[in-house]
């Protein structure tokens, strides 16, 4: 066992060392070369999740990526790829050309943020040790992608399955770099489905030693002007948060920024601070829709007091309110685009109750897609949602080799008899 562990460690170390000496755009090539050498892999590819979270895009190796000429988009719904992302467990699948080999598909994930998939084609009958090494190579690839995406547009290019308008480009750049996060006490994920002419929705989160900060905001208007207002608002909130200001001061700074620079436009927002040691939540509601809470199978709207939106030019203050989360609670924060008149056929409380068994990664996708379907694919306003699962202050065990908490992943959507699921 010690020999196997040492071999796996050397593989991990070798991939990282090779990545350090390679160009940023050659991250996948580095992993591919190592897996070809060790296991006789005939093909290796990285499939990155797109911005909508509904498909993955295959990035090939050996200089074929990043040309912008063509991409292979693979839908996730009902596929083995979708189930690997849902369950965060490696799967085997038959080779597509019937040569007797097998495809090993492993999640590329870091701290619950599902970046994509590693697909390796190898001879049939891989040993448990081989599968374990491929799984750990996929986890290593997550770190490599995170480190190298600062220097290249390759991974951003891969995530864009449809062209973005200028407003949408600004809006997506405002989102946190990871759309999901897992820690001992919680899991959180967000999704934004932009309207055709793009509103001013944003969501954000940050974690410090004892506090989780969350915000969902909605700037008035559409297109580039709304995106610029969202940038102004989020810049004020992040600046105040990073300066260590309390929640009331964060709200006040956001308000002053809108008053002084928005030209009379308004924005709503819900700001939260979750204390990790006891689940106590402090929040400010600036004209925003009430959050929803799923507790013991029951969904309720938290009818908290609502203050004026940011930017209203009358004297007022922002009240800091409190509530307490219990272990097992799910809190959902959304914008009014999720409750638009055209979204009436999407019963969000019922959907929230029905998706209680899903990880927040999948829950936010289900909710936004339901609203999109209810509007026949044409939103009049952005639909944005954040989902927070509160586990409690007691530590849970993260899987150090996969980058996800395997005890809290979503179940498989459909069975795949081609090969067993593996940790």
Dihedral sign of CA atoms 250, 251, 252, 256 in order? positive
pLDDT of 278 above 80: yes
In sequence order, the 6+-apart residues with CB closer than 8 A to the CB of 386 are 188, 189, 190, 203, 205, 214, 216, 332, 333, 334, 364
CA distances from 339 to 65, 121, 260, 343 (A): 40, 45, 30, 6
Average the pLDDT over each of 199-208, 357-366, 407-416 and give the range with the smallest value. 407-416
The predicted model gives 118-140 an average pLDDT of 91
Task: Round the average pLDDT of the chain to a whole number and report it.
Answer: 87
* Fold of the domain spanning 185-390: Phosphatase 2c; domain 1 (3.60.40)
CB–CB of 113/180 below 8 Å?
yes
Tell the burial category of 355 from Cβ atoms under 10 Å away from its Cβ (0-12, 13-18, 19+).
buried
pLDDT bracket for residue 401 (50, 70, 90): low
b/e map 379-403, b = 16+ CB within 10 Å: bbbbbbbbbbbbbbeeeeebbebbb
* pLDDT at residue 111 greater than cutoff 90: yes
> pLDDT: is 270 or 125 the higher one?
270
User: What is the Cα–Cα distance from 311 to 265, expressed in whole angstroms?
Assistant: 7
- What backbone torsions phi and psi does residue 250 show, to the nearest 5 degrees? -60, -45
**Structural fold of domain 2-158:** Beta-Lactamase (3.30.450)
Backbone angles phi and psi of 6, in degrees to 5: -65, -40
Angle at the Cα of 114 (from 42 to 65), degrees rounded to 5? Answer: 45
pLDDT greater than 70 at residue 418: no
Q: Which helix (H) or strand (E) holds 349?
A: helix 348-354
42-46, 56-60, 280-284: range with lowest mean pLDDT: 56-60
What 3-state DSSP class applies to 292? strand
Domain ranges for the chain, please list them.
2-158, 185-390
Residue 398 binned pLDDT confidence (cut-offs 50, 70, 90): low
Residue 218 pLDDT greater than 70, yes or no: yes
For the segment 330-352, the average pLDDT, to the nearest whole number, is 83
- Say how far residue 288 (Cα) sits from the centre of its chain: 23
Compute CA distances 414 → 73, 82, 285, 362, whole Å. Answer: 21, 10, 40, 15
The Cα–Cα gap between 144 and 33 comes to: 15
Radius of gyration of the chain (CA): 22
Q: How far apart are CA 75 and CA 79, in angstroms?
A: 7
Give the pLDDT score at 7.
Answer: 56
Q: Are 91 and 416 in contact (CB under 8 A)?
A: yes
Which CA distances in Å does 115 have to 8, 107, 180, 238?
22, 8, 10, 24
Mean predicted confidence (pLDDT) in 289-318: 95
């Amino acid at each position: 066992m010690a020999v196997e562990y040492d071999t796996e460690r050397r593989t991990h170390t070798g991939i990282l060392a090779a990545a350090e000496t390679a160009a940023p755009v050659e991250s996948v090539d580095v992993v591919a070369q190592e897996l070809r050498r060790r296991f006789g892999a005939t093909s290796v590819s990285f499939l990155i999740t797109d911005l909508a979270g509904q498909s993955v895009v295959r990035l090939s190796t050996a200089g074929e990526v990043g040309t912008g000429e063509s991409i292979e988009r693979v839908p996730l719904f009902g596929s083995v790829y979708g189930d690997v992302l849902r369950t965060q467990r490696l799967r085997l699948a038959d080779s597509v050309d019937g040569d007797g080999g097998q495809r090993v598909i492993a999640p590329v994930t870091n701290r619950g943020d599902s970046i994509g998939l590693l697909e390796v084609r190898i001879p049939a009958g891989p040993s448990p040790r081989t599968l374990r090494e491929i799984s750990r190579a996929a986890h290593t690839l997550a770190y490599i992608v995170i480190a190298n995406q600062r220097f290249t547009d390759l991974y951003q290019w891969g995530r864009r399955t449809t062209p973005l308008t200028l407003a949408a480009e600004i809006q997506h750049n405002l989102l946190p770099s990871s759309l999901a996060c897992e820690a001992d006490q919680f899991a959180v994920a967000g999704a934004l489905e932009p309207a055709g002419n793009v509103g001013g929705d944003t969501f954000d989160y940050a974690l410090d030693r004892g506090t989780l900060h969350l915000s969902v905001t909605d700037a008035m208007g559409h297109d580039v002007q709304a995106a610029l207002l969202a940038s102004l608002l989020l810049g004020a909130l992040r600046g105040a948060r990073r300066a260590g200001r309390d929640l009331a001061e964060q709200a006040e700074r956001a308000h002053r920024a809108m008053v002084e620079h928005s030209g009379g436009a308004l924005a709503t927002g819900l700001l939260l601070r979750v204390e990790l040691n006891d689940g106590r939540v402090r929040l400010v509601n600036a004209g925003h829709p009430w959050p929803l809470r799923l507790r013991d199978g029951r969904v309720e709207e938290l009818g908290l007091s609502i203050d004026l939106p940011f930017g209203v030019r009358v004297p007022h203050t922002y009240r800091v309110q409190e509530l307490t989360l219990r272990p097992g609670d799910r809190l959902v924060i959304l914008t009014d685009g999720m409750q638009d008149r055209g979204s009436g056929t999407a019963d969000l409380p019922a959907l929230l109750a029905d998706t209680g068994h899903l990880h927040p990664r999948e829950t936010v996708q289900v909710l936004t897609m339901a609203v999109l379907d209810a509007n026949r694919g044409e939103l009049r306003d952005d639909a944005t949602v954040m989902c927070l699962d509160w586990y409690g202050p007691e530590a849970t065990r993260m899987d150090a080799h996969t980058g996800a908490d395997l005890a809290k992943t979503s179940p498989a959507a459909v069975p795949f008899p081609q090969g067993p699921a593996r940790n």
